[in-house]
Amino acid sequence: MSNQTKAVIWDLDGTLINSVDQHWDAWREVMAEENITLTFEDFVADFGKRNDEILRGRIDAEMTDEEVARIALSKEDKYRHFIRTNGLVLLPGAEHWLRQLKTDAWPQALGTSAPQGNIDAVFDVLEIKQFFDAVMSSEQVKAGKPAPDVFLAAAAKMNIAPEDCIVVEDAPAGIEAARRAGMKSVGVLTTHSQLDGNWVFDSLDQIPADFFASAFAQE
């Protein structure tokens, strides 16, 4: 089976990069400024969701778009400062798979709940932009994960059918988005202890060498 008609769509935070500390620090600071107590458990539960969904879920369901934009911008400014100041690392196995799939001519896309400014900051710090044939941010679609929009948009941009895509995700919202998109999913247990993906691994470096080449034969 040719892999030219198959593709991999990657989530970013918690899947390819270890950005939990930077996001946690940014959210903790911005919520404190709004006099909102945010526990680490709350933060983890929201990981993988868009800022508007997080803020309306944690502060006020009727929050205006202007208020959402103000707080979200403050949070992301803090996050980008942290990663540009303190650096960022790829999670174990991430660079290997990005390089291997590119070598094997698999189209790859980024489908993330992060805004484009965060993606740009990550690309500034880590040289991984070269691996992606499509990059879709939360701002480019109507609804965030667990809605399938960002993954469907990424597949469309690569001109690959949804059923021919494998999504790699670390969050329940992302796994659900892949399911709704009609895509197979690989869950990596970096930020959650349990995921309901088609396949689940503790980390990217635990994925077998022949996994992607044989995944579509495993029905």
**The predicted structure's pLDDT at residue 2:** 43
Q: How far is C-alpha 25 from the geometric centre of its chain's CA atoms?
A: 18
Q: Where are the beta strands (DSSP E) in the chain?
A: 7-10, 108-111, 134-136, 165-169, 184-188, 199-201
What are φ and ψ of residue 166, in 5° steps? -115, 125
**The predicted structure's pLDDT at residue 125:** 93
**The predicted structure's pLDDT at residue 64:** 95
**The predicted structure's pLDDT at residue 4:** 59
Q: How far is it, in rounded angstroms, from Cα 40 to Cα 36?
A: 13
Do the strands 108-111 and 7-10 form a parallel or antiparallel pair, or are they unpaired? Answer: parallel
N-terminal to C-terminal alpha carbon distance within the chain: 14
The parts of the chain modelled with pLDDT lower than 70 are 1-4, 218-219
Report the predicted TM-score, pTM, of the whole model to 2 decimal places. 0.85
**The predicted structure's pLDDT at residue 33:** 94
Query: Domains (ranges, CATH) in the chain?
Result: 3-18+89-215 (3.40.50.1000), 20-86 (1.10.150)
Q: How far is it, in rounded angstroms, from Cα 54 to Cα 49?
A: 7
Q: How far is it, in rounded angstroms, from Cα 153 to Cα 181?
A: 10
